[in-house]
Amino acid sequence: MDMVSPYAFRLTEYLKKEIAARPEGALAKQFMPTRAELTPAPSDMLDPIGDRVHSPCPGIVHRYPDRALYLVAASCAAYCRYCFRKEVVGRTKPLSSKERNVALDYIRAHPEIREIILTGGDPLVFSDLKLGQYLADLLDIESLRLIRIHTRAPIVDPGRVTSSFIDLCRQVQVTGRGLQIVVHCNHAEELTPEVRTALKALISQGLGLLSQSVLLKGINDCELALENLFRELTYLGIKPYYLHHLDRAPGSEHFRVSLVRGMELVRNLRGCLTGLAQPTYVIDIPGGYGKVPVNSDYIKRVGPKTYHIVDWRGQSHAYTDIE
Ligand SMILES: *Cc1c(COP(=O)(O)O)cnc(C)c1O
Ligand code: SF4
């Protein structure tokens, strides 16, 4: 590396091995910094999905009535160069115990929150012991029915899927609460034999697995790459849940695919891929208005590059595309 990126950089031992084996591969492109990330774009936003607007206290983002994010971790085992929270993740401290108590009090005081999404950062940066404590704190809150864990750990560090982590997940299910793990995976190349073993270990214990992927230029922005990815995930037993349109985090413009191209890709996938393997293509409306599906009446083209996007409340927001 002959440059200093302003954004956090870290690889796991596993990623170092994979990237050395395939220096031009999908993992290298996602995790190795390049000069392009130093170039600002006019559309950059420091808080692209409006986390701050909907954060009543540190660690909580409560945008939709029935579910909230609990941002327990502020770091990840490895940093995706296009990370939508790159202004925060890898640059701030995890929640203090006092902040965690305030966050738990907020959840308790809002029983309409029936689902908590443990995210960050990646909650699996913590030891199983610590993670177990976070889960126990949540299980004490009676109004919570479902716990979701958003993680990229099985992909960047398959060894992190330990038997004690699997035990923790099963303990949640024993309480009668739902547990759903959502794995962030963007390319079939990420599903190496080690990663498949880790994912199968979770699935074989009856844990529900979904995937979320980000549409990324030069990595998965062709029909074949997306088809292979969603096919392989589905055959493993993982339901492709979301395909995210890239958020406007600084220094990620070189990864951006236009909405027109994204819609075309998704439309073309319909014809060649089982419906079981079709994720919903979603865009997080800049400013904190939430996610909406892209291929729908929610988005109306009003000019050559301009769109009106209607949020879940029916309010309209202007959006300018790149082409
Ligand atoms: C994405 C997101 C969720 C989860 O949304 P689902 O559509 O239920 O997957 C919840 N809260 C916030 C703030 C989010 O950004
Ligand atoms: S795993 Fe998620 S939070 Fe972590 S660097 Fe990647 S996109 Fe950001």
Spatial neighbors of 73 by CB under 8 A, at least 6 apart, are: 94, 119, 120, 121, 122, 123, 124, 125, 126
Over residues 261-282, the mean pLDDT reads 92
pLDDT at 1: 47
169 noted as active-site residue: no
Rounded Cα distance, 253 and 263, in Å: 18
Model confidence pLDDT, tens digit, residues 55-79: 999 999 999 999 999 999 999 999 9
pLDDT at 91: 84
Testing ligand 2's pocket by substitution, the residue of 30, 61, 86, 152 carrying the most ligand atoms inside 8 A of its CB is 152
- Is 322 within 8 Å of 307 (Cβ atoms)? no
Bridge partners of 117, per DSSP, are 69, 148
Q: Is the pLDDT of residue 2 over 60?
A: no
How much of the chain exceeds pLDDT 70, in percent?
A: 98
Is the CB of 69 inside a 6 Å radius of any atom of ligand 1?
yes
Q: Is 240 helix (H, G, I), strand (E, B) or coil?
A: strand
**Residue in the block written with tokens 């990370």:** 83
Over residues 263-289, the mean pLDDT reads 92
DSSP secondary structure letter of residue 250: T
pLDDT at 88: 86
Model confidence pLDDT, tens digit, residues 192-231: 999 999 999 999 998 999 999 999 999 999 999 999 999 9
pLDDT band of 312, cuts 50, 70, 90: confident
Q: Which atom of ligand 2 is nearest to the CA of 156?
A: 1
Model confidence pLDDT, tens digit, residues 165-177: 999 999 999 999 9
Is the CB of 61 inside a 6 Å radius of any atom of ligand 1?
yes
Over residues 287-311, the mean pLDDT reads 89
Is the CB of 117 inside a 6 Å radius of any atom of ligand 1?
yes
pLDDT at 3: 59
Q: Which atom of ligand 2 is nearest to the CA of 82?
A: 7
pLDDT band of 314, cuts 50, 70, 90: confident
Q: How far is the CA of 302 from the centre of ligand 1 (A)?
A: 27
Over residues 12-18, the mean pLDDT reads 98
Over residues 148-168, the mean pLDDT reads 98
Q: Is the peptide bond before 121 cis (omega within 30 degrees of 0)?
A: yes
pLDDT at 4: 67
CA-closest candidate to residue 239, choices 290, 285, 274 = 274
Is the CB of 288 inside a 6 Å radius of any atom of ligand 2?
no
- Is 252 within 8 Å of 317 (Cβ atoms)? no
**Residue in the block written with tokens 């130093």:** 38
Over residues 270-274, the mean pLDDT reads 87
The pTM score is: 0.93
Q: Is 233 helix (H, G, I), strand (E, B) or coil?
A: helix
Task: Give one DSSP letter per residue of 140-154, joined into a string.
Answer: T-TT--EEEEEE-HH
Spatial neighbors of 43 by CB under 8 A, at least 6 apart, are: 248, 253, 320, 322
Q: Is 210 helix (H, G, I), strand (E, B) or coil?
A: strand
Q: How far is the CA of 49 from the centre of ligand 1 (A)?
A: 11
63 noted as active-site residue: yes
* Residue-wise burial string across 278-310, b where 16 or more C-beta atoms lie within 10 A, e elsewhere: bbbbbbbbbebbbbbebeeebbeeeeeeebebb
pLDDT at 215: 98
Nearest CA, atom 8, ligand 2: 83
114 noted as active-site residue: no
Model confidence pLDDT, tens digit, residues 96-130: 999 999 999 999 999 999 999 999 899 999 999 99
Strands 316-320, 146-151: pairing kind:
unpaired
Rounded Cα distance, 308 and 301, in Å: 6
Amino acid at 267: R
In terms of Cβ atoms closer than 10 Å to its own Cβ (0-12, 13-18, 19+), residue 28 is middle
pLDDT at 22: 97
